[in-house]
Structures are given as structure tokens and as C-alpha cells.
Amino acid sequence: MSNHSKHTDHPLLIDQANDQLKAEVHQRYLQALKRETKWVRLLQLAILLLFLSLWELAARLKWIDVLLFSYPTKVFHLLWVKLLDGTLLPHVAVTVEETMIGFLLGTLLGTALAVVIWWSPFLSRVLDPYIVVINSMPKVALGPLFIVGFGPGLLSIIATTLSITVIITTLVVYGSFKEVDPNYVKVVKLFGGNQRTIFLKAILPASFPTIVSTLKVNVGLAWIGVIVGEFLVSQKGLGYLIIYGFQVFNFTLVISTLFVIALVATVMYQLVAKLEKKLTKHR
């Protein structure tokens, strides 16, 4: 009886020991990863503080022209003043709104165009040279055409943004569609699947991570498009503040605005990165 108990309990004990060992190893890995992340954040902060300190020192010791390059304390003071008098946030709100519109429309339209091209190989061959040419064109050169066509306002800024985001999204997503393992498609066809079934059951699931990852790319592209558009036509927004700063030789305003753009764009990027992680977590 005791021998039988030993034979039955022994494998269970081994399994329990293995599970406990795996849990301990995984816990140590997570702790090491957490420590590494903490050191990465500290190093990033140290680099930023070192850069600002050297910049401030170079300005105070007249190593650089403060008229052109300003210095951190002056930049932060200007931002604080404009934040208190209420002249900064309206410009931030305008640019963020335009960026979100361009970001969402660019992602949706680019993905939809990629689907249409994939659906029709004939159409893909017809449009391929045009997509390459449009993608290679400098988008700033298209600005005057958008101004004439849509007027000097929101529509021309959105059009400038879409001229950047749509084509890039189309190329990335369509490339992902073409790289899907052909065996997936063959299996669906073997079970009698049509074009729609192939797309929904094979192409879209395999390409979903790429589609989601284009969200992060489009955040930066949308900011570029909006700022370029505001350079050309806007009377408000962060792009307008940069142009205005150059016009009145207030380079502290220019640098302050660039700092705000970097800060807000980073926040948007991190939000999209969290969304990507959430959408791909269970896939």
C-alpha cells in the first residue's frame, strides 16, 4: 500500500516542484526586468537634466548666442507666463484636435485603401506606380494646391496631413497583407472559403499586429502633417506660434513651442502604445 502511494505521489511531487521552480524563476525575471526599467528611466532623466544643465551653462557663460538659442530657464519662464495668461492652451488644443483628426482619418483611409488594393490584384497593378510617385513627392509642395482647393483653413491642414499618413499606412498595411503565409490562404480555400472569408479568417488576423503598430507610426506622421499645414495657412496652433516667433525674432517662443510639441506628441505616442499593447495582448 505504501509502495503504491509512493508511486502515485512521486510524479505529483515532481510536478509541484517544477511548477514552484518555474514560478520562482519567472518572479526573479520580473524583478530583474523591473530593476532594469527603473535604471533605464533614471538614465533617461539624467541625460535630459545633463543636456539642460549644459545648455543653461553655455548660455550663462556666453558660449552660445542666447538670442538664437535661448536657455532653459527663459524657455520655462515663457511657457509658465503663457500658461497663466491663457494664451498657450488654445493653440495646443487646436493642434491636438487637428492631429487627432488627421491621425484617425489617415489610419482608416489608408487601411481601407490597402484592403481595396489587396482585394483586386488588377487594381493593385494599375495603382502601384501612382502610389510610389505620390509617396515620393514632397508634401510641402502640395500645400499651395490644398490651399487653393480647400481654402486657407482646417480642410487644407487635414489634407496636408492625409497626404502623408494615408500613403504610408497603405504601403505598410498592404505589404503586411502580401506577406501573410500562403498556406493560411490555401487552408481557407480548401474548405471552400471565398475572397471575403479568406480576408476575414486568414489575412486580417495575421496582419492585425501590423495594422495596430501603424497607429504609433501615424502619430508622428500626423504631427508632421499638421505642423506643416499650420506653417502654410493657420492663424492659430503650435505651428503658427513657430512661424510667428520667427517673424518677430522671438526664438525663445520658437523653442518653447517645439518643447510643447515634443511633450504633447510623446504623451499621444505613449497612449497609442498602451492601446496597441491592450489590443494585441490576447492575440
Q: How far apart are CA 279 and CA 19, in angstroms?
A: 29
CA 118 to chain CA centroid, nearest Å: 24
Both 142 and 269 in a single domain? Answer: yes
Domain final residue pick, 45, 64, 83: 64
Domain span at 13: 1-64
Asked if residue 27 and residue 81 are part of one domain, the reply reads no
Please tell me whether residues 54 and 115 are part of one structural domain: no
CB count in 10 Å sphere of residue 188: 19
pLDDT digits (tens, 9 = 90+) for 60-109: 998 998 888 899 999 999 999 999 998 999 999 999 999 999 999 999 99
Residues 144 and 258 in one domain: yes
Sequence-ordered list of residues with C-beta below 8 angstroms from that of 213, at least 6 positions apart, any chain: 276
In this prediction, residue 283 carries a pLDDT of 58
Q: Do 78 and 212 fall within a single domain? A: yes
Domain count, the chain: 2
Phi, psi angles (nearest 5°) of residue 39: -70, -35
Tens-digit pLDDT profile for residues 256-275: 999 999 999 999 988 888 88
14-58 per-position pLDDT tens digit = 666 676 777 777 777 778 888 888 898 899 999 999 999 999 999
How is residue 125 written as a grid cell? Answer: 497593378
Give long-range contacts, CB 8 A cutoff, 24+ apart: 79-87.
79/256, 79/259, 79/260, 82/256
Same domain, 4 and 103: no
Do the beta carbons of residue 79 and residue 88 sit within 8 Å?
Answer: yes
124 lies in the same domain as 255: yes
User: Residues 148, 216: one domain?
Assistant: yes
Contact 177, 114 (CB under 8 A): yes
Instruction: Indicate yes or no: pTM above 0.75.
Output: yes
Amino acid of residue 143: G
